[in-house]
Chains A and B, each alone.
Chain A
């Protein structure tokens, strides 16, 4: 498997706080990697640095073998991001929003692509509805559709199912799994739903206080932390326990 993303010694210091403290990891082609940890662990800051939204204090991020600092546009053309915490212009309809993003990503055959994604996420009936009239779950699905517009090779998902009902969340997970298998898509996934992570992720990284405290396959981590589930491991890590 090819390395799509490589992070080495990534550090971010805000004043006297080391939000991310020299972390290193990689994401392989066709892999779903869970980035987990309690609030304030440094996941969001890490994600921001991977997307080039925050400048690291030190360390490097390389995606597709290119340095994010020097090749940001080239990388972002082949990557995408979705979060349940961001939205889209409220006054524009779903179709108009997706058209704007399809233009930003220079998507060929825009109409066909948008129609296909609306169908995939079961939001065809919302195409002419302004975003301001959508529920947060519907906005999340539109955002996920947006994140697949450019057929990304790597996808960054920040708690993508946080505002979805169990039915749609389950469908979304199946869809992501399906897309991953179809296209060999790599996904970096943050979530607080450990059951979801167990089901979806090939590998997980646990962060706490800016550091990587554990990484490996979910079952390996459960074994190393003597936990019966990832939820159990999460609680142990959040409460400051180390291996065993």
Chain B
């Protein structure tokens, strides 16, 4: 064993963190998110002292719906990354496809991917935990639709950031959706959150969806105000995401960065 060689390769990895904010953040990102999510779940469970009604339905239902948001975002970001990794983006962008057509094709891929993933998850939840997500009934449609659109907005923004900052930003494709998890109140109600996070949650479409899901699973009606608020936010966010993508695409063409994506 040669200490100099071991140190050489340690330094090689440490150099990466010197100039890379995303890499540096990644060290803290997952532990902090885990602490937040599990901390709020613990507070929620403590309030009911283990006597939480519809325990299984709340958690498994929430997990299945969260996965819809996650797949919807990943369907865009990861599909885009595959083109970037295979140095194929130039072939795509010198073909007659327009940036809008390219984005729409990725939206379609994301829907197909989440259909496959959802079929498996829903089936397994039924077989393993006797949980049937379809007991939510037709209310499932607006809940799922809102999550898909939120996933698209996050996916389009992620793709735009990767286009601009390249490899440095690739970690976002896997991690960015989880940034919204603590304030999306996936596994606990918004009321568990401290005041500042409650305000943020109010502007996150997913938090209204999960509040709606819990209301329906508890046997109540779908709170229309929550769904309409989520839909309104989603319309605003998807428009902003598209505008951001368009502005960003124009900027990277001006800076000559399009040809450097994936390097």
- Name the contact of B95 in the complex, choosing from A45, A90, A104, A156 (C-beta under 8 A): A104
- Inter-chain contact B258/A54, CB cutoff 8 Å: yes
A-B pairs, 10 with minimum CB distance: A87-B87, A54-B256, A77-B96, A104-B95, A89-B86, A73-B96, A81-B94, A55-B253, A55-B254, A76-B96
B-chain residues with CB within 8 Å of residue A45 when the two chains form the complex: 256
- Name the contact of B94 in the complex, choosing from A53, A74, A90, A91 (C-beta under 8 A): A53
Instruction: Answer whether residue B129 sits at the interface, using C-beta atoms and an 8 A cutoff.
Output: no
A residues 153-189 with Cβ under 8 Å of B?
156
- Inter-chain contact A48/B95, CB cutoff 8 Å: no
Complex CA distance for A79 and B95, rounded to whole angstroms: 8
- Inter-chain contact A86/B97, CB cutoff 8 Å: no
- Name the contact of B96 in the complex, choosing from A85, A87, A105 (C-beta under 8 A): A105
The answer to whether A53 and B93 touch (CB under 8 A), given A14-B256, A89-B86, is yes
Q: Which residues of B contact A (CB under 8 A)?
A: 82-83, 85-88, 90-98, 250, 253-256, 258-259
- Name the contact of B90 in the complex, choosing from A73, A83, A101 (C-beta under 8 A): A83
B-chain residues with CB within 8 Å of residue A14 when the two chains form the complex: 255-256
- Inter-chain contact A101/B96, CB cutoff 8 Å: no
Interface centre among B82, B87, B250, B255, by most A CB within 10 Å? B87
Complex CA distance for A91 and B83, rounded to whole angstroms: 11
Q: C-beta contact mask, A77-114 vs B, less than 8 Å → 1, else 0?
A: 10111010111111100000000010011100000000
Q: Which residues of A contact B (CB under 8 A)?
A: 12, 14, 19, 44-45, 48, 51-55, 73-74, 76-77, 79-81, 83, 85-91, 101, 104-106, 131, 143, 146, 156
Complex A-B: 12 CB contacts under 8 Å: A14-B256, A44-B259, A48-B256, A53-B93, A73-B96, A77-B96, A81-B91, A81-B94, A86-B87, A86-B88, A87-B87, A88-B86
Considering the complex, give the chain B residue whose CB is closest to the CB of A87.
Answer: B87
B-chain residues with CB within 8 Å of residue A89 when the two chains form the complex: 82-83, 86, 88
Q: Can you add 13 more A-B contacts, CB < 8 Å, to A14-B256, A55-B253, A83-B90? A: A48-B258, A53-B93, A53-B256, A54-B254, A80-B94, A81-B91, A86-B88, A88-B86, A88-B88, A89-B83, A90-B86, A91-B86, A104-B97
Complex CA distance for A166 and B109, rounded to whole angstroms: 42
B-chain residues with CB within 8 Å of residue A51 when the two chains form the complex: 94
A-chain residues with CB within 8 Å of residue B90 when the two chains form the complex: 53, 81, 83, 86
B-chain residues with CB within 8 Å of residue A90 when the two chains form the complex: 85-86
Considering the complex, give the chain A residue whose CB is closest to the CB of B105.
Answer: A104
Considering the complex, give the chain B residue whose CB is closest to the CB of A54.
Answer: B256
A-chain residues with CB within 8 Å of residue B97 when the two chains form the complex: 104
